[in-house]
A and B are shown apart, each in its own frame.
Chain A
Amino acid sequence: MSSEVIAMRTNELSRVRAIRHWVVGLVVMCGLLAGTQALVAHHAGTMFSDEVKEISGTVKEFQFTNPHSWIQVMVETKPGAPPQEWSVEWGSPNQLGRRGIRPSTFKSGAKVTMRIRPMRDGSPAGGFVGAKLGDGAVVGSWE
């Protein structure tokens, strides 16, 4: 493969990545809506605080299921300590799917920083607000 072709492919890849980030960013505005409205569908979201908390770690699993989707995140606590598993609740796949979210949006093993509305009782769970993935892609509301 010539260096010219490699350069073209690299440019193309950058463009694709840029478009992908833009699309994901767009999706995320919708994500905020989904995050606030979707939870209404099956149960109330009153167990979540109004404050926003940030957690960082690795995606264990994205349960793209009804009546709600769940993102299981292994959150780093202290250096050397085992990570703590957090359960982050989001909308139904029906609502999220129509807004461009896919089962592949959160891949297992992906590094992620997530903004959530944590449970009022301090349990390791919360309602999804937004996320920034290791490659810089944003999902949901971040600003």
Chain B
Amino acid sequence: MRVLKIAGVVMLLTAAHASGQSRDTLPDWSGVWQMVGGTVFDRATASGQGGALSQGLRERPPYNAQWEAIYQRNLKLRDQSQLPDPINTCGTPAGFPRVMNLPDMYEFVVRPEQTWILTENGPNVLRIYTDGRPHPAPDDRWPTYTGDSVGKWEGDTLVFSTLSTKNSQWPTEGDTVLDRTGLVLSDAAHIVTRLRRVDEQTMEARMVIEDAKALTAPWNVTKTYRRQPAGTRVYDYGCAENNRNPVDTSTGKTLILGPEGEKFGQ
């Protein structure tokens, strides 16, 4: 029994050491947060007025010609209301980096060995390992919506690397987007995020996105989150509870189900 206790203490100390932070020195990211601005992923490069669904609005990731053409195709579909969103299918994760670009509430749960980003919308969970483990070897990982994230603390900033996300040329291939303009990335995407609390009211995520298949240069995107009033609750988000918005697979249009299951908007 005593040996087990000692082993437990050693494991805890190792985890704390590997993360660069002990439980006492971890930053306080408690509370409930909401992303600032709309869900246009890269507002800094957006041209045109309005939100992600507004005709004419687009962003300027440093896409190569092939992926720029994919994005332009998606923008055209968006303008025709024929670009469905993968998350219209309840249960589909937002994926990374879109998980940093969602409406509704956020929570940032900091532990010595992991940080969890919980999003009410979805819901989604992003796990960032800070116990010193590396990414799995190429043979030991496979693409997932949210990918694999490992990180370390640099003072009060959590610096983490994410890879092994899914290849997507949605809607013809793959099943993720970064926002509703139709931004997509390949499975070669590698994102380094610097996450910190700037002040009492503001969290900031600075992302540097590299993608050897889709981008010609690193793509820098910053998202910020505002603290919500004390006592704000986060609720259950059961997308399948009463989803009356199926997608017409032949046209890509999002429909409405009437009270008798009639399909409106075809």
A: which residues have CB within 8 A of B? 37, 40-47, 63, 65-68, 70, 72, 85, 87, 89, 92-95, 97-98, 119-121, 123-125
What count of chain B residues pass the 8 Å CB interface test? 39
> B64 contacts the other chain (Cβ, under 8 Å)?
no
Going nearest first, the 10 A-B pairs with the smallest beta carbon separation are A123-B264, A65-B242, A46-B81, A94-B235, A47-B265, A43-B245, A66-B241, A43-B254, A67-B239, A65-B241
Contact B256 A87 (CB under 8 A): yes
New A-B pairs, 8, CB < 8 Å, besides A94-B234, A121-B266: A40-B38, A43-B84, A46-B81, A47-B254, A72-B259, A87-B244, A98-B233, A125-B265
> B81: nearest residue on chain A (CB-CB)?
A46
The A-B contact count (CB < 8 A) is 100
* CB of A64, distance to nearest CB on chain B (Å): 9
Residue of B nearest to A121 (CB): B265
Hey, which chain B residues are within 8 Å of A43, CB to CB?
A: 84-85, 88, 245, 254
Q: Would you call B81 and A66 a contact (CB within 8 A)?
A: no
Closest Cβ of chain A: how far from B119's Cβ, in Å?
A: 11
CB proximity to A under 8 Å, residues B127-142: none
Cα-based distance from A116 to B238 in the complex (angstroms)? 25
CA distance A44 to B170 in the complex (A): 16
Q: Are B253 and A41 neighbours in the complex by a CB distance under 8 Å?
A: no
User: For the complex, what is the distance from the CA of A9 to the CA of B84, rounded to whole Å?
Assistant: 55
Identify the B interface with A (CB < 8 A): 38-39, 51, 53, 81, 84-85, 87-88, 90, 103-105, 120-121, 180, 232-239, 241-245, 253-256, 258-259, 262, 264-266
**Is the pair B258, A94 in contact by a Cβ cutoff of 8 Å?**
no
Question: Which A residues are in CB contact (< 8 Å) with B259?
Answer: 72, 85, 87
B120 proximity list for chain A (CB < 8 A) = 94
A residues near B81, Cβ cutoff 8 Å:
44, 46-47
User: Considering the chains assembled together, what is the distance between the CA atoms of A89 and B236 in angstroms?
Assistant: 19
**B residues within 8 A CB of A85?**
258-259
Return A40 CB to nearest CB of chain B, in Å: 6
Distance from B255 Cβ to chain A, minimum over Cβ atoms (Å): 8
* Complex interface: chain B residues within 8 A of A46 (CB): 53, 81, 254
Chain B CB count within 10 A is highest, among A47, A85, A89, A119, for A47
The residues of B that contact A72 with a CB separation of less than 8 Å are 259
Q: Are A47 and B253 in contact (CB under 8 A)?
A: yes
